[in-house]
Amino acid sequence: MSKENTIKEPLVRIVKKDASSTKRAILVRAVAVILALVVDAVFIFAVTGINPFGVYGVMFKATFGNKLRFSWAMRDLVTLLCVGIALAPAFKMRFWNIGAEGQVLMGGLATALVMVHLGPALPTPLLLLVMFLASAVAGAIWGVIPAFFKARWGTNETLFTLMMNYVAIQIVSAAVNILRGKASSLGKLNIGTEYGWFPKLFGQRYYINIIIVVILTVVMYFYLKYSKHGYEIAVVGASENTARYTGISVRTVIIRTMILSGAICGLCGFLIVGGRDQTISANTAGGNGFTAIIVAWLAKFNTFYMALISFLLIFLQKGAGEIASTYALNDFAADVITGVILFFILGSEFFLNYKLIFRKNVKEVE
């Protein structure tokens, strides 16, 4: 006697698929942006009654309204991109460096201390060189501490690097209080003498930041893709056991890579303090250490893609501020508009890497 049974699969299964082609990736992300703009338009009109096209025009104006606005956007872009470049080798190695914020702060603090204490004693070229080296060393030290514990005792680098941020914030806060003495605020460092300030290029000091980060973008791309160290980082990231089997010292790679990652974060602190702000505070990193995680991950550690993603995030950030001021909206409403766009872009990555398989009824005869 035969009996018929119906075996039900799960309603939906998520299956990883092969890498998408460049054309498909561009198409999926473009569709995501269009859908985000449609959702934002509905939100804007429903909540505020404002013409959505006018809002989008204001967002565009915030970055492209004039040359000065665009240069400000580039100034902020290279700060974010610099941190993303620093995180790329660590993340490719699957070392989750969440401590970039603290590493930037320590690099900035080292820069500020050199400016204050050695500024009068050194000629400008030598002073800038010492600031550069001090920032890189400070960032590297802050990065290698969790790397050493990870390599030696297998500690959790995510929690370790995250907690190092809070230690750095307190150290910088204490140092700022000492530096300002009885003044109500720290203000610009060496404002009368401009010791340690970057020289102006095309009328702005931060153009040197842009040049340095462009060079870093190219160098890091070739380092990760074509160098022996870049190959070892990729192998360790894919499988530590495979790396050991092929004779790669995993401990050495972890420590060396985190020295590099921390040093570039420290360099970012140097660019901020010497080239952009000429001051130091507990908020000097400005949250870029966390935002850069999105940049590095979405770009799949390709530094040229990081530049594009950094530009998009800065465009959204500038646009949100301009919307809030132009239409007298609170910052939360403006952030919702940019948050929706970012949500759709992040969500599109799911459809590039995975596919949904819906349930079918399968009959078996016994």
Per-residue pLDDT tens over the stretch 196-249: 999 988 888 899 999 999 999 999 999 999 999 999 999 999 999 999 999 999
* The pLDDT of residue 91 is above 90: yes
Residues ≥6 apart with Cβ < 8 Å to 33: 341, 344, 345
Confidence of residue 25 (pLDDT cuts 50, 70, 90): confident
Mean pLDDT of 142-165: 95
Cβ(146)–Cβ(164) under 8 Å? yes
State whether residue 352 is helix, strand or coil: helix
pLDDT at 126: 97
Confidence of residue 7 (pLDDT cuts 50, 70, 90): low
Mean pLDDT of 88-101: 96
pLDDT at 366: 45
* φ and ψ at residue 204, rounded to 5 degrees: -135, 145
* The pLDDT of residue 261 is above 80: yes
pLDDT at 331: 67
pLDDT at 264: 97
Q: Tell me the C-alpha distance between 289 and 161, whole Å.
A: 11
Parse the chain into domains and list their residue ranges: 67-293
pLDDT at 49: 81
pLDDT at 181: 81
Mean pLDDT of 29-39: 88
State whether residue 4 is helix, strand or coil: strand
State whether residue 132 is helix, strand or coil: helix
Alpha-helical (H) ranges within 16-156 are 22-48, 52-64, 67-92, 100-118, 124-153
Q: What are the Cα distances from residue 29, in Å, to 24, 53, 97, 300, 352?
A: 9, 21, 27, 15, 9
Confidence of residue 163 (pLDDT cuts 50, 70, 90): very high
Confidence of residue 82 (pLDDT cuts 50, 70, 90): very high
CA torsion through residues 202, 208, 213, 216, sign = positive
Predicted structure pTM score: 0.88
| More confident site: 15 or 103 | 103
Cβ(329)–Cβ(323) under 8 Å? yes
